[in-house]
Structure 1
Amino acid sequence: MDALPATSSSSSYLLTNYPLISALLAFVIAQSTKLFTSWYKERRWDLKQLVGSGGMPSSHSATVAALAMSVGFQEGFGGSLFATALILACVVMYDATGVRLQAGRQAEVLNQIVYELPAEHPLAESRPLHELLGHTPPQVIAGGLLGITTAVIGYLFIIAVR
């Protein structure tokens, strides 16, 4: 596929920045989807899902996948800008299933330990740690696919309006 022409300085408004719009739209769709996947799982609406981390699909993965794909469409898949966006996406997605997921699991264990402390212990009344930090591999894959799909639909839309 031919690369889309780079935005010129005279039309570099945020509203015409295809990679930025693609990434933000993927983020919004992913966060909105979490509201419904949470309802399906728990049968209750949890509006915190709109701004929270963790859950299905990974909005971090959707955002960076959409960014990388749209940069590839706009600048070409053989350039250094696409390579940079792709490496960023890989690091973010790896981190979501690695460090952040493990930190969330550690928070679960620590919260359980604090919960079992005697009432007179100084930490017994401490606020619980946030447990839902990272993502499982299926959540990251779903977010990545959502991001790629968002970028492809955006690219097809741009081609159609030309």
Structure 2
Amino acid sequence: MNGSLFVLAAALLSNFIAQGLKPVFLYIRTGKFDIHETIACGGFPSSHTSTVVALMMAVGFSEGFSSSLFAVTAVFAFIVIYDAVNVRYYAGKNIQLTKQLIEDLEANTQLRFHDPIYDEKIKDVLGHRFVEALGGIFLGILVSTVFYFFVFML
């Protein structure tokens, strides 16, 4: 397997494993199994984080950890992780707050909102808590390292 195909395969494999683990960890945490978690945003581990970390590590293995390309993928990974943990997480919190305000207004003022936009189902968890991103970091490192070992060392 050449280096560029290895990099792509490691990133995609890490993403698929992270998405596949989400229903498992949901079941462990809550006792509820939901196969739809495999395509959901949010949850443990962060697939965004695992994908970019696996990409970064695979580039490091393939091109060298002192290469410019590794530096670019490291910066890219930090931006994606920051976005997943901060920007997207607080966007989800904002959605929760807005939904609660609408419910409170309707309950306390007998006001009814008739515009169809108020009936839209909006997912209120978009981002990740830090522990979910940390799980993605560890998974991305593990997947790319093990994959590298099996592809190039055996």
Q: Fold match, TM over 0.5?
A: yes
Please tell me the residue identity of whatever aligns with 1:30.
Answer: A
Map of 1:20 onto structure 2: 8
Q: CA RMSD in A?
A: 1.9
Please tell me the residue identity of whatever aligns with 1:154.
Answer: F
Instruction: Give how far 1:72 is off.
Output: 0.5
Of all paired residues, the percent bearing the same amino acid is 33
Map of 1:140 onto structure 2: 133
> Larger RCO: Structure 1 or Structure 2 (Cα < 8 Å, ≥ 6 residues apart)?
2
Deviations 1:29-68 (A, max 9, x none): 1111111111122222212210010011100000000000
Q: Which runs of 4+ in 1 moved over 4 A?
A: 4-7
Aligned residue runs from structure 1 range 50-69, under 5 A:
50-69=38-57
Query: 1: CA distance between counterparts of 2:22 and 2:62?
Result: 29
Report whether the alignment pairs 1:32 with 2:20. yes
Instruction: Return 5+ residue gaps in structure 1 as ranges.
Output: 8-16
Instruction: Give how far 1:5 is off.
Output: 7.0
Please tell me the residue identity of whatever aligns with 2:122.
Answer: L
TM-score (norm: length of structure 1): 0.85
TM-score (norm: length of structure 2): 0.89
Deviations 1:101-158 (A, max 9, x none): 1001111111112223246323585224211111111110110110011010011112
Tell me, yes or no, if the aligned pair for 1:97 and 1:134 is still in contact at 8 Å: yes
Would the alpha carbon gap of residues 31 and 6 (structure 1) be closer, same or farther in structure 2, given more than 3 Å must change?
A: closer
* The 10-residue stretch of structure 1 (104-113 or 121-130) with the greater mean CA deviation from structure 2: 121-130
Report whether the alignment pairs 1:106 with 2:98. no
Find the residue that maps to 2:125 and give its secondary structure. coil
Report whether the alignment pairs 1:159 with 2:152. yes
